[in-house]
Amino acid sequence: MLRRNFGRLTTLGLALSFALLGGAGNAQAAITFGFRNIEGSVVRFVGDADGGGASFSLTPGTGAGGNQFDVSQVTGGTGDGTDIVGRVAGNFSFDKPAADTTFQFSDLTGSGTLTLFDPSGNSTLTGTITGSDIFTGGTLGGTNLSGIVNIAVTNFVSGGGGGDADLRAFFLAAQANGGIAALSFQFIPAMSLTQLSAAGAVNESTYSGTLAANAVPEPATVMSLLVGLPLVGLGAWARKRRVQS
């Protein structure tokens, strides 16, 4: 059984939740990209054969040249980064939590190659995103609730066309202090990590999230996320359909 959830997370919810990664205490993000999936791209969960956990990855968007998401909001930059598109090539996995509770949390392993492309400047940033943690609570879920630094940039190639100030600034800030990647998703009806871990189960959802450079959150940021995440659902709409596998 394939469960698809096409819930859209709004820019307001995105800003109120994951943008808080750089807003608590003395933690400041030099530049933050809010992103959302390109049409046709989903986060796909596949349950392990033994039911002991699951893996997930992002799928390419429809006719998007292999890209999965686009940047819809820039904080701390010039704003020229709202045409950036990106992708993460890799798989992440987690173990099924021991207790089947409303709020579930598990360590996330694996890594993926991050590629961000700015067509205005014909510029490309590459780096690596490593696993952090994953959680579900009611209809909402996400990664990196703990706000750890999990982005390491490796290269920036400018096309020399200008118009890539935000991407360049992100690279320089993340090169100095690393960066934070966080993803959010939604299932209606609610799905827990336990359900996502069901043997052979395939579940998909649209997604949004944040890439924050030069941000090292303090503990208060974690509480900000706990408060902010439910607000994502205020502007969300969703529909689901079932497809027999």
User: Which of the 8 DSSP states describes residue 239?
Assistant: -
- pLDDT for 162 equals 76
Percent of the chain exceeding pLDDT 70 equals 76
> 242: pLDDT confidence band, cut at 50, 70 and 90?
very low
8 A C-beta contact, residue 143 and residue 151: no
Pick the range with the lowest mean pLDDT from 86-90, 99-103, 114-118, 141-145: 99-103
The stretch 201-208 carries a mean pLDDT of 98
Please report, for the chain, the start and end positions of each structural domain, with discontinuous segments joined by +.
2-234
Specify the amino acid at residue 222.
V
Specify the amino acid at residue 138.
G
Q: For residue 123, is pLDDT > 50?
A: yes
> 64: pLDDT confidence band, cut at 50, 70 and 90?
confident
> 65: pLDDT confidence band, cut at 50, 70 and 90?
confident
For residues 9 and 209, give the distance between their C-alpha atoms in angstroms, rounded to a whole number: 9
For residues 36 and 210, give the distance between their C-alpha atoms in angstroms, rounded to a whole number: 9
- pLDDT for 19 equals 39
For residues 104 and 181, give the distance between their C-alpha atoms in angstroms, rounded to a whole number: 20
pTM score, whole prediction: 0.79
**Residue, of 107 and 218, whose pLDDT is higher:** 107
